[in-house]
């Protein structure tokens, strides 16, 4: 793609960035070489702006490893080893690594982000498609996944955690912002949220579920350990734990919100070690006594 002066000007670039373009590429330039030149000159934000304006390409860059200050690539990155970037790692297509992925500021992909090792971002982690990590994920800012999220080890998120599909985390989840999952959220360990936790389908944890605000699932909520919220607990169907269920002071616990009262006994049962306080809907099933 050849970007001419008039073509770029029509996108209303900032004055300083357009002066740089006129000074260095007065006769225009090819898309990816222009992105590379901007990054080399320390104009990474301008390179990201250009990619946003003109979109992804079907180009594929296949290399053994990447160790750079910043990367802005319009196509797909396929790296056999590790990706190490000091600031911004961005691709219009997918980012795939046979090792780990680390970026000091942000990792952004128009499609999937996949790594056989860890994925670590000093800021945001944003993928238009799936995110998959063979080990763990640590994002100090928000994490946004347009498709399915799969993490074999722990997941730590310093901001809003948004998943457009299913989320599976092999071990623990720690989120300092709200958790929003458009399908099911399932973990092998605990789920801890500093805000609300919501899933359109079900929520299941291998140990405990704890959040500071509301806990809500369109289907059921299940945990081996305690289910505790600082706000209300709402399940479209059933609630189940071998420990306790506790909502915040002044809030209630609701099961069966999405099924008829007539089928609560089969589809909206509530099981816990003891009857939860302020259980306002659902069919309570007392634990079996020996």
| Mean of per-residue pLDDT scores for the chain | 92
Q: Is residue 26 very low, low, confident or very high in pLDDT (cuts 50, 70, 90)?
A: low
Residue range 182-213, pLDDT digits in tens: 999 999 999 999 999 999 999 999 999 999 99
Concatenate the DSSP letters of all residues of 43-64 into one string. -HHHHHHHHHHH---S-EEEES
What are the tens digits of pLDDT across the range 50-101? 899 889 999 999 999 999 999 999 999 999 999 999 999 999 999 999 999 9
| Cα-based distances in Å from 264 to 241, 258, 261 | 17, 10, 5
Kindly tell me the burial class for residue 14, based on how many C-beta atoms sit within 10 Å of its own C-beta (0-12, 13-18, 19 or more): exposed
- Backbone φ/ψ region at 283: left (φ over 0), alpha (ψ -120 to 50), beta: beta
Query: Looking at the predicted structure, is the pLDDT value of residue 24 above 80?
Result: no
pTM check: above 0.85:
yes
Confidence of residue 16 (pLDDT cuts 50, 70, 90): low
Alpha-carbon dihedral angle through residues 123, 166, 243, 219, given to the nearest 10 degrees: 130
Residue with tokens 């706000």: 231
């Amino acid at each position: 793609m050849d970007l001419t002066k008039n073509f770029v000007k029509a996108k209303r670039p900032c004055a300083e960035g357009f002066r740089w373009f006129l000074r260095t590429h007065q006769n225009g330039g090819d898309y990816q070489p222009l992105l590379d030149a901007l990054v080399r000159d320390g104009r990474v934000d301008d390179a990201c702006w250009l990619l946003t304006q003109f979109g992804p390409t079907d180009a594929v860059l296949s290399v053994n490893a990447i160790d750079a200050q910043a990367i802005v690539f319009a196509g797909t990155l396929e790296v056999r080893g590790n990706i190490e970037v000091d600031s911004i790692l961005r691709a219009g297509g997918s980012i795939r690594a046979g090792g780990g992925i680390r970026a000091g500021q942000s990792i952004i992909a128009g499609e999937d982000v996949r790594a056989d090792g860890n994925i670590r971002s000093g800021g945001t982690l944003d993928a238009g498609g799936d995110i998959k990590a063979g080990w763990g994920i640590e994002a100090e800012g928000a994490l946004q996944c347009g498709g399915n999220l799969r993490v074999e080890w722990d997941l730590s998120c310093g901001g809003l955690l948004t998943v457009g599909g299913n989320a599976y985390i092999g071990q623990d989840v720690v989120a300092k912002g709200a958790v929003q999952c458009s399908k099911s959220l399932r973990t092998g360990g605990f789920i801890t949220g500093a805000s609300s936790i919501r899933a359109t389908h079900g929520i299941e944890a291998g140990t405990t579920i704890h959040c500071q605000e509301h806990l809500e699932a369109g289907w059921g909520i299940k945990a081996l350990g305690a289910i505790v919220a600082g706000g209300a607990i709402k399940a479209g169907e059933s609630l189940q734990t071998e420990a306790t269920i506790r909502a915040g002071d002044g809030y209630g616990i609701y099961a069966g919100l999405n099924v008829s009262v007539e089928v609560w006994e089969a589809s909206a049962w509530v099981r816990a070690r003891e009857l939860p306080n302020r259980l306002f809907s659902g069919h309570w099933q007392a634990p079996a006594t020996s």
